[in-house]
Amino acid sequence: MRTMLALQLGVSCVLAMACMAAHAQGNLRDSGFDEGITARCMWGKSIAGMAQEKYLAGVSRKEFLVSLDQMHYARAWMPRMTQAIADNVYRSNSSSSVSIVQEQYLNDCRQYYLAK
């Protein structure tokens, strides 16, 4: 609803995307998740979106993973998680948009931590 209101007011697309991300992050916080879990889910969401974008562009899984080797990871678990997310995205063979894949990842992440 907030996103639709922002678009109706003529706010730029970039600002609307920022509002959606903040709204999604707010939903995670409202669910009782701490900052670390919220940050982890938002990070994974961005990796899932990047993987889907590359998949739709025709980049192979191996090429995508090699390109990620150049990234600096802040935490020890991030490289393995990146590979797992990429494997999942590429295995799904989905032609869904990046935003749908990101939202699905966020929902799956939320469900994982709720069940834990």
The radius of gyration of the chain's CA atoms, rounded to the nearest angstrom, is 15
pTM: 0.69
Specify whether the CB–CB gap between 96 and 52 falls below 8 A. yes
How far apart, in whole angstroms, are the C-alpha atoms of residue 61 and residue 38? 27
Count of CB atoms situated within 10 Å of the CB of 42: 17
Range 104-115 burial, b when 16+ CB lie within 10 A, else e: bbbeebbeebee
The pLDDT > 70 percentage for the chain reads 72
Percentage, residues of the chain above pLDDT 90: 57
